Chains A and B, each alone.
Chain A
Amino acid sequence: MSPFILATLLFALGLGTMITFASSHWLLAWMGLEINTLAILPLMAQHHHPRAIEATTKYFIAQATAAAMLLFASATNAWLTGQWDIQLMTHPLPVTLITLALALKMGLAPMHSWLPEVIQGVDFTTGLVLSTWQKLAPFVLLLQLQPTNSTLLLALGTASTLVGGWGGLNQTQLRKILAYSSIAHLGWMTIVLQFSPSLALLTLIVYFTMTFSAFLMFKLNNSTNLNSLAISWTKAPVATALAPLVLLSLGGLPPLTGFMSKWLILQELTKQDLMPLATLLALSALLSLYFYLRLAYSLTLTVSPNTLIGTTPWRHPTSHLTLLLSTSTVATVFLLPITPAIVTLFSLLGT
């Protein structure tokens, strides 16, 4: 792809999200989402092979349907209440429809089935954009809608965490596992969205950091399924030693950054007197933890049969740019001790 076209598409990708952030009118927000979708489609289909085209088609249909439903709900809102503002929606029907449309756009649980297939079809860089940057615009719209129908959000969030755990159990493809982990993390955010929006934002940013290092780590090893993880120590021994920590941070184990968001969300749910839900969420995190542990196991504790020459690729200089990976890995592993500072920062942002 020509660098000029690539720059234009990346600019449009950022522009769409920014328009959605800045808008207070539903039509403008919809336009931002459409620009965003139209800009990512050529990026996904740039390698012209069947899986990429299929993933692009599936992504297009899901996103176009969600955008049309969003605009339909806003038009209904305009006909019922006579206004187009994003905040202060009063009628429950358009609010519910918009929540469902945004859930389809992000890939929350009952509407999630396109997400693993789409991420499996594209390469790691595009998959990273899909599972981080593309979540921002719908998430911010959902954040602006609050407070709204609480039962619907709780149901969507609980279903997402459970489905994200169950679905990833049987997978051997890394990109599908990362997609299911994305579904589960989005579920956690959706649950806490109505109780503490700043905490939901914190969870989103922490998730972005963790998934950034996970995607870049797998990209560095150039491994797309569970089997090829076993030889990744021959390519990058230090990164392989750190990779289990990144994965366990995604799973949310205590001394790592990923524990911060889960801890705070469970505390918030306990404060809201939702003990059964908090228990269910903590148990569903165990499901996710199982497949992260399996990834960590095949990364570090298995040695595949190999020739002597096959064990030395790490001696050769590589052309990979590892500055981003090392920065985000440090953030993924070591940020738990400064939790109070981060919480204060985000609560200042939220007001």
Chain B
Amino acid sequence: MALRELASLEKYLGLKKPNKYSTQGDKKIPVLQNNSPPLVGLVTIACHLVKESNHQELLGDTADSRAVVQQWLEYRLTRLDIYTKEDIKTVLKDLNLYLQDKVFLAGNHVTLADILIYYGLHPIIVDLAVQEKEEYVNVTRWFDHIQHHPGIRHHLPPVVVLRNRIYTSRHR
């Protein structure tokens, strides 16, 4: 999973030289082999790839937005990679409130936070019923926006998001 994400990120960044990866332990933590010493961890490697590319803005362009990007990258590792059913509800509820007045997770353009949270949320959003997608309408709107952002979706199938509410009243 993490390796496919990194491959998609490489394509998005337009990196020409393919990197060599392996995984470590039961949790299949990605390891970037062609770095001396090898780099371990999804977020560490992703930040390294961004620095290698010409897309530094993906890490945020002000001190505040750089911090907010790192914040959501950590959230991805701690809340989206290890979760229970109850956790998912909290995550979706919190993200929904956070995204109420936002187009992107940090600042005014797409960042690495949007990309990695999108990859991490994909398996969760795929399983949501239509009604739940409507309950978390801001998450769904943001998700749909990111999956249509050129070059990000790559290895993932698109998730159908209805733009018009169908459950306007319960007993129709």
Is chain B found bound to chain A in the same assembly? no
Q: Which residues of B contact A (CB under 8 A)?
A: none
